[in-house]
Amino acid sequence: MIGRVIFIESINKFSFLVSEDSRQMVFENCYVVSPDPSGRQFHVLSQIESLDEISTPDVEGTQIKANCRILGNYDSSGKQKPLTRPIAYGSSVSLANPQFLRNLFHSPPPSISLGKPLGNPDVPLSVALDDFQRTATLITGTTGSGKTKAVSLILNQFIQQNGACVVFDFNKEYSALVPEEKINLMTPGETFFIGMDDQFIEVFSKELTDHEVDQLYHIYSLYGPDLSSMFRAFESVTVDKMRVRAYKSLERKLRTLSSRRLLATKEKPYEPIVRENKCTIVDLSELELKYQPLFINYLLKLIHSQRKKDIIPATFVIIEEADRFLNTREVPISIIKEIVLQGPKIKINVCLITQRPRFCDEIVLSNCRLQIFHTTRNPLDIETLSRVSQYLDSYYISKIPYLTKGQALISGPNVVFPIFVNIVSEF
Ligand SMILES: Nc1ncnc2c1ncn2[C@@H]1O[C@H](COP(=O)(O)OP(=O)(O)OP(=O)(O)O)[C@@H](O)[C@H]1O
Ligand SMILES: [Mg+2]
**Domain 111-193+272-422 carries which CATH code?**
3.40.50.300
- The pLDDT of residue 49 is 94
The rounded distance, in Å, linking the Cα atoms of 354 and 27 is 32
Ligand 1 centroid, distance to 353 Cα (angstroms): 13
- The pLDDT of residue 241 is 66
- Which among 381, 333, 427 is positioned nearest to 139, based on CA atoms? 381
The rounded distance, in Å, linking the Cα atoms of 284 and 291 is 9
- The pLDDT of residue 427 is 62
- The pLDDT of residue 238 is 65
The rounded distance, in Å, linking the Cα atoms of 119 and 284 is 40
- The pLDDT of residue 240 is 67
Residues whose CB is less than 8 angstroms from the CB of residue 169 and which lie 6 or more positions away in sequence, other chains included: 175, 281, 282, 283, 284, 285, 320
**Domain 3-104 carries which CATH code?**
2.40.30
Question: Which ligand lies nearest to the CA atom of residue 140 in the structure?
Answer: 1
Residue 251, classed as helix, strand or coil, is helix
pLDDT in tens, 162-203: 999 999 999 999 999 999 999 999 999 888 899 888 889 989
Which of ligand 1's atoms lies nearest the C-alpha of 173? 17
Query: Can the peptide bond before residue 225 be classed as cis, meaning omega within 30 degrees of 0?
Result: yes
- The pLDDT of residue 353 is 98
Nearest CA to ligand 1 atom 16: 146
Domain map (residue ranges) of the chain: 3-104, 111-193+272-422, 198-259
Predicted structure pTM score? 0.95
- The pLDDT of residue 25 is 93
The rounded distance, in Å, linking the Cα atoms of 120 and 48 is 12
Nearest CA to ligand 1 atom 25: 143
pLDDT in tens, 8-34: 999 899 999 999 999 999 999 999 999
Nearest CA to ligand 1 atom 13: 144
Residues whose CB is less than 8 angstroms from the CB of residue 194 and which lie 6 or more positions away in sequence, other chains included: 188, 200, 257, 262, 263, 264, 295, 298
Ligand 1 centroid, distance to 313 Cα (angstroms): 29
CA angle (376, 331, 223) in 5-degree steps: 140
Nearest CA to ligand 1 atom 31: 149
- The pLDDT of residue 239 is 64
Which of ligand 1's atoms lies nearest the C-alpha of 149? 18
pLDDT in tens, 288-314: 998 999 999 999 999 999 999 999 999
- The pLDDT of residue 27 is 95
Residues (pLDDT < 50) of the chain are: none
